[in-house]
Amino acid sequence: MSAAIEVLPRSVPRPAQQRGSDRPTCPVCADSMIAAEASAFLAEDSISYLWSCDTCGYGFVTKYEIHKSH
């Protein structure tokens, strides 16, 4: 099975947001994602997550910028 990979950038403010709202949905079939297959620190201030849909097999990557509070 082949899968296309798409990078979806996201910048998520952290203060009062619940973690459950950070979960992405598949852009193809709209199924909810529970856990990423892999993650990687790209730089000191960003993390990349690899997602694969259990329903349709579509793969994509999200990138989160970490905003440090002073």
Looking at residues 44-58, what average pLDDT do you find?
A: 91
Q: Which CATH architecture has domain 7-65?
A: Single Sheet (2.20)
Q: What are the pLDDT digits (tens) for 1-35?
A: 445 555 655 554 444 444 555 678 899 999 998 88
Looking at residues 42-67, what average pLDDT do you find?
A: 89
Say yes or no to pLDDT of 42 above 70.
yes
0.95 surpassed by pTM: no
pLDDT of res. 31 = 92
Measured CA to CA in angstroms, residue 44 lies from 11, 17, 34, 47, 52 at distances of 15, 22, 25, 9, 25
